[in-house]
Chain A
């Protein structure tokens, strides 16, 4: 297959960026989007045309959350429920023009080309996205009973990979789905109950402080989430937030 690629190039955080156009040919339909970019980089290196395009990637099996490209206006491209590394070229037509951009959000500044800084997510987690269980001195695992449907719901939310597609998809660059998923994961479990109110307040305040926008319920985040995290997590986040304002410990 043959493609025309328009790729965002930007030297560093301070430099001005622009689109650069490259042609690429002989791409197998079974090849992943990142493997296609590998081949472009190989060509750029071999022909000494330009510096290779920088993009974040690691596990290449859709679980580490490192990769994330805005492809033809959609985070992680035009297939549902996949990360960029799992997007295959068979989802494009031969001869397509493809626009490739980094995540666009104030809280995710560009580092170089398609690489952005997502440390804001880590800071939100550091604000309270955990259960304070110091190593040792915990009860036997089966002393804590968790109803199966609760464990399943918690696991659904915990599947978030922290890639940032929800923020990139949102016109307000809101992180509500990311935060809501973590709140659901922990607040639903009996182990997460004691800190639930505090956790909710601290994570939301940190999210606001870091420049993420508000949720206006268009659910672009849910539509683009590679792990199909549900918008119900945002509703639960709001309930927990309101609950903690009134000093109530209701979680769900």
Chain B
């Protein structure tokens, strides 16, 4: 396998301009003869399909929900970054680029990140034109706030529902194309396999989730925008149906999978409260603009709180440890997510955690309410406070919120080159499904930016470059031995799962896998813990294939079967995450190896040996994957220690 990142020539700031000037185009009459499949209707998928449809291509788009508007991008709360410098506070493309590279702990590709920063402003323009009701100030201009890892205010937001509003904008644009006939929507359809003909991605096999029937679709190119794989941990902030299977079947067909061990743990989530729990709810990072994070200074206070004898209000100001402000005076409560998460874990592990389980810290708004008044706080964060109150049944205006880190986002994903093309020609990956822009840690409000950048402003160009010579091949038909083989493989996989007829539910295994991953391959990893994880995953997987029970039939609506085939893929993925974490003998971003830390517990990178992207090649179910390296060359940015003190 050869990894060619295809980074254009020229100085960093000119690369994208040069690419666009030199790329191949497709003339309007030929565009309608070219078919594109887009899988996923989140920010990346919907924006890509809408833009490609508007250009004149014929697009088939697929989603597993009943409507494209329900993709999990909808749940993003806090905001979207863009280097508009509307606040005159020193922001620029260069600054956003540098913050993103540094936030990713120098493990992202320079050229991709620069392009992301470059198009960020266009995204805001586009969204406003679509009618996204961003927050405004009294003059009618757009308002901004700050997010972690930045010293400027560059985050645009729509209350605590920014993801929802951006997705509804993209969904509107998509709906317009559906009405025009350039895009055909297939809701409640799940991608089950990728079909490769003559070395190129030429189609997909999908399962109709209502009837259970398998269907085939063919196209000149396939775009995967199916999100991340955080649900391998079972408990995460992802939606219940978010899954890694579409990306994983592509990996099985030959697409390299990059940096799987880079998983983001978000510091501000509502803590776990019971083993029946199905998901964790995020409290937006924007809360750290005004909320202060603390635990008691004295262990006996923490213990009394855990026993229910004291509450947060009983702890005097001087007995509170605002540990982020203490350890990181320059960034304070707005340090990046990985740093904030580890710091919370450190305090809780040391015995200062609060809440009944001791696995929680306080996020306190008392100062903000005193300073700004309850009204202002309510206006800014009202819906988040309401959500907290509904879930926890405690009034956050009176008592500080309790929060704890939880799995949130996966920086790893399908390896893509500068054109967002995977190692399979004709297969593209966008949004969280690819690995490209966030290195080892993603900054807050950058996921929305990346999803929309890929869909609105990158793929419409790079796909054309790929499709330019495809006008000669004619219509691709969903037939031939490749489609037959792929469909049979899917059918066999489902039949073998249905045939097990054991005694345990799929969730039983998924919860167990989640516990293994969180315990041994979560916020802190060591050589020993990873070895344990590997062993336990193998045991659990073997047990799954002997004792899982899936009721019903394959040819009907069957949510248990859906969970089962997704979990089967998670087992393979979990193994790869562990292997990747094991080979990466350094700490960087969200990947923290306890063997590699500074004296005061910060991550210790090893740039001499690990400044590369690990791209893994699938070798079969029972064989270890082969790792390929894409060396990262930083020509523009100066590499420094990542310091938020």
Contacts and interface: CB of A to CB of B under 8 A. Distances in A.
B276 interface: yes
Contacts of B161: 63, 159
Contact of B124 (A41, A44, A141): A141
B524 interface: no
Contact of A88 (B178, B391, B560): B391
B70 A46 contact: no
A161 B171 CA distance: 12
A134 interface: yes
A191 B51 CA distance: 19
Interface majority SS (helix, strand, loop, mixed), chain A: loop
A2 interface: no
A234 B503 CA distance: 52
A59 B241 CA distance: 8
B137 A148 contact: yes
A8 interface: no
A155 B133 contact: yes
B75 A130 contact: no
B274 A31 contact: yes
Interface string B380-422: 0000001100110100000000000000000000000000000
A172 B164 CA distance: 29
B128 A144 contact: yes
A82 B559 CA distance: 24
B236 to A, nearest CB: 11
A122 B176 contact: no
Identify which of B86, B133, B390, B505 gathers the most chain A CB atoms within 10 Å of its CB: B133
Q: Which interface class (under 10, 10 to 19, 20 to 34, 35 or more) fits B?
A: 35 or more
Interface string A11-46: 010000000000000001011101100110110111
A62 B125 contact: no
Contacts of A46: 503-505
Most buried by B among A41, A58, A186: A58
Interface stretch (A94-102, A110-118, A210-218, A244-252): A110-118
B131 A54 contact: no
A125 interface: yes
Nearest to A121: B67
B126 A135 contact: yes
Interface residues of A, number: 76
Interface string B127-158: 11111011111111110000000000000001
Contact of B276 (A39, A61, A139): A39
A220 to B, nearest CB: 22
Contacts of B126: 133, 135-136, 138
Given A135-B126, A145-B139, A52 B70 contact: no
A162 B67 contact: yes
B274 A30 contact: yes
B611 interface: no
A1 interface: no
A46 B503 CA distance: 6
Given A90-B393, A111-B210, A60 B278 contact: yes
Contacts of B560: 45, 52
B58 interface: no
A206 to B, nearest CB: 10
B128 A64 contact: no
Contacts of B254: none
Interface stretch (B341-349, B549-557, B569-577): B549-557
A38 B58 CA distance: 40
B84 A141 contact: yes
Contacts of A186: 131
A229 to B, nearest CB: 13
Contact of B551 (A45, A112, A136, A162): A45
A58 B65 CA distance: 8
A61 B387 contact: yes
Interface in A180-210: 185-186, 189, 191-192
Interface string A170-186: 00000000000000011
B239 A130 contact: no
A50 B199 CA distance: 46
Given A88-B393, A126-B178, A145-B139, A118 B67 contact: yes
Interface in A130-171: 130-136, 138-142, 144-148, 151, 154-155, 158-159, 161-162
A35 B281 CA distance: 14
Given A61-B387, A65-B69, A119-B66, A148 B239 contact: no
Nearest to B70: A64
B185 interface: yes
A5 interface: no
Nearest to A65: B70
Nearest to A153: B133
B276 A28 contact: yes
Contacts of A158: 133, 158, 165, 168
A157 B134 CA distance: 13
Contacts of A139: 125, 129
A35 B278 contact: yes
Nearest to B557: A112
Interface string B610-645: 000000000000000000000000000000000000
A192 B75 CA distance: 25
Contacts of B393: 30, 88, 90
A144 B178 CA distance: 27
Given A45-B505, A125-B175, A132-B176, A151 B135 contact: yes
Contact of B86 (A61, A122, A142): A142
Contacts of B135: 151, 155
A233 interface: no
Contacts of B133: 146, 151, 154-155, 158, 185, 189
Nearest to A61: B281
Contacts of B79: none
B544 interface: no
Nearest to A147: B140
A129 interface: yes
B68 interface: yes
B136 A146 contact: yes
B318 to A, nearest CB: 33
B82 to A, nearest CB: 9
A58 B136 contact: no
A57 B240 contact: yes
Interface of B: 47, 50-51, 54, 65-70, 72, 74-75, 84, 86, 122, 124-131, 133-142, 158-159, 161, 163-165, 168, 171-173, 175-176, 178-179, 185, 187, 210, 239-241, 273-274, 276-279, 281-282, 386-387, 390-391, 393, 456-457, 460, 503-505, 507-508, 549, 551-552, 556-557, 559-560
Given A30-B273, A133-B126, A151-B136, 8 more contacts: A38-B278, A64-B72, A88-B390, A115-B557, A118-B67, A119-B66, A122-B68, A126-B175
Interface of A: 12, 28, 30-32, 34-35, 38-39, 41-42, 44-46, 48, 51-52, 54, 56-66, 79, 81-82, 86, 88, 90, 111-112, 115, 117-119, 121-122, 125-127, 129-136, 138-142, 144-148, 151, 154-155, 158-159, 161-162, 185-186, 189, 191-192
18 contacts: A31-B277, A44-B551, A59-B239, A66-B65, A66-B66, A88-B390, A112-B556, A115-B557, A119-B187, A122-B185, A129-B172, A132-B176, A133-B131, A141-B128, A142-B142, A154-B131, A185-B131, A189-B131
Instruction: List the 3 closest A-B pairs by CB distance, nearest first.
Output: A130-B172, A145-B140, A138-B129
